Structure 1
Amino acid sequence: MFTSWFRYDFGYSWPLTLGHGLVFAAALALAAIAAWRGWRPWLVGAFAVVAGWGLAGTVAMHHAGQINEPVRVPTRAFLASGSGRVLDLGAGSGRATVGLLLARPNVRVTAVDLYRGYYGIDDNTADRLRRNAATAGVGDRVEVRTADMRQLPFGDGEFDAAMSVAAIDHLRWADVERAMREAARVVRPGGEFLVVSLNVDLWVRTAVPLPLHGHGYWGRSPDRERWRQAFSRSGFDVKEVGTGPATLYWLVTRR
């Protein structure tokens, strides 16, 4: 896990990738200094508590959030055959793309994104995704396109499956449904669509105890029933709903 923090360039800023670790190191050093110099016990305890939070936050961000690593596929049921042509909606710097290609060695992925600045990654480009795929040794199985998931430049039923990891759920609700309908159009009947969202569980609340300014996405979990109904309206049947560390996912099939 630790070596992959520096192996890939997924573009996240240092407060997200290293911030909790720096807090841990600084607070631990202050606690040691305070104890050595005989400062008030409550002050030593306060520094120790902050150090503990920094350590817990580091584990949460990198184990649960996988913040600078390829994203784990949350269910074995997705592309259980191990092959097929897959569309990754909102691929960004490629965390989910690379994760899928590593987990399913016979799939090919077309990754699409608008490649505009968002969520602290202002310089995302298609080339960054290509570099990360090459680093993982899967660059020959990915094609990167600049496209809008709400208006896809692909034919009907062109893909065996689609996925969107921490992407479609960032849209306004009307645009979420537009993107769902587009996914239903380009995925063949019987094909799968995997949507992965942040689940505001104990892992997330440990790492980010207060909602980030301008990042309300961190402060709530999706309404499962609302999403189920939207999938149904868009032409999908829900096959599986599940959770993992900091993760909520839906696996649906195209009618």
Structure 2
Amino acid sequence: MQGNTREIERHHANAKPRFGIDAPTLVLGFAFGGPALLLAAMVLTHGFPTTASSGGARSVLGAMMLTGLMMCLEAIAMTLSSRVGKRLLLRRMVASLNLRGDEQVLEVGCGRGMLLLEVAQHLPQGRATGIDLWSTRDQSGNAAAVTQRNAELAGVVERVHIDTGDMRQLPYPNASFDVVVASLAIHNLPTETDREQAVREIARVLKPGGRVALLDFRCTAAYARTLRAEGLADAHRRGPSFLMFPWVWIVRASKPTC
């Protein structure tokens, strides 16, 4: 019994945060659909050689094989992006913020906390707040309890606060945060109006002199325009970065002090 207890304790001590896969339904579709198309093309080619030899059939079978191969490659690329490229790019993004260590930082659409916990590592006297609606369509296994557990495993639970809420109606007073960040979150909102409202909310809760860094693979030019319309005149985007698939841009801005 004592041996089992020690084994369990050792397992928990060695456990690491798990952050899941972005767009899991899409990745799963590619992972199953690609091999299925390749297999079907091979079966038709070898099982019905006479039919497959016609010009029209060769074109169809070629298209099936090419599509299947592309789907397989996209499944691999998206998985590597979620597991490796995303982590590297987020570390660079956080490092570029040059945090003092006492800031109040908000991540909108924090998911399972990869960016949130990276920020928290740089805040020995500060606080990283994450807010999400916890959609599992956008990230596998997405849940507040999972993010909380990841914070415990990363050893930063005392620096992290997790909320449930909508980025279009952030439940925080004006000028609450020194820094606001997001990663692959805002584009999930269904309409352009929704995305504009989320970016306006980000500008609203940002303190004068505060900074924004928003990473996404689409709509980033619109984020920059909205931030400029909200008075963050230096809003601009950098990229693309090919560490992730699809490749991404980062929108940066700072709020004037007066």
Question: What range describes the TM-score normalised by the shorter chain of this pair?
Answer: 0.5 to 0.7
Structure ranking higher in helix proportion: 2
How far 1:79 sits from its partner (Å)?
Answer: 1.5
The 3-state SS of whatever aligns with 1:110 is strand
Shift of 1:171: 5.3
- What does residue 184 of structure 2 align with? 166
- Aligned match of 2:225 in 206, 226, 229? 229
* Contact 2:34 2:67 survives alignment (8 Å): yes
- The answer (yes or no) to whether the contact 1:114–1:147 under 8 Å persists in 2 is yes
Aligned equivalents of 2:196, 2:45: Cα separation in 1: 57
Shift of the 178–9 alpha-carbon distance from structure 1 to 2, 3 Å rule, reads: closer
Q: Deviation per CA, 1:120-152, whole angstroms, max 9, x where unpaired?
A: 669843213223444555444321012333333
**Matched residues, percent identical?**
24
In the alignment, residue 59 of structure 1 is paired with which amino acid? I
**What RMSD, in angstroms, separates the aligned Cα atoms of the two structures?**
3.9
Larger Rg: 2
For residue 125 of structure 1, the aligned residue among 133, 143, 166 is: 143
Decide whether aligned partners of structure 1 residues 10 and 122 sit closer, same or farther in structure 2, where only a CA change above 3 A counts: closer
In structure 2, what residue type is equivalent to 1:247?
V
Residue 17 (str. 1) matches residue 36 (str. 2): no
Structure 1 residues 220-249: Cα deviation after superposition (integer angstroms, max 9, x where no partner):
xx272x443321221313354122243122
| CA distance 1:32–1:108, shift in 2 (3 Å) | farther
TM-score (norm 2): 0.65
Change (3 A) 1:171 1:231: farther
Q: Which residue of 1 aligns with 2:11?
A: none
CA distance in 2, matches of 1:223, 1:147: 22
TM-score between both structures, scaled by the size of structure 1: 0.66
Paired positions, count: 224
Give the partner amino acid of 2:27: T
**Structure 1 residues 14 and 23, CA gap change in structure 2 (3 angstroms):** same
> What SS is found at the alignment partner of 1:183?
helix
- For the residues of structure 1 that align with 2:21 and 2:79, how far apart are their CA atoms? 15
Q: 1:137 to 1:70 in 2, by over 3 A?
A: farther
CA distance 1:125–1:68, change in 2 (3 Å): farther
CA distance in 2, matches of 1:13, 1:171: 15
Aligned position for 1:241? 237
Distance 1:82 1:51 in 2: 49
CA displacement at 1:189 relative to structure 2: 1.8
* Other-structure match for 2:214: 195
Instruction: Return the alpha-carbon distance in structure 2 between the equivalents of residues 155 and 247 of structure 1.
Output: 30
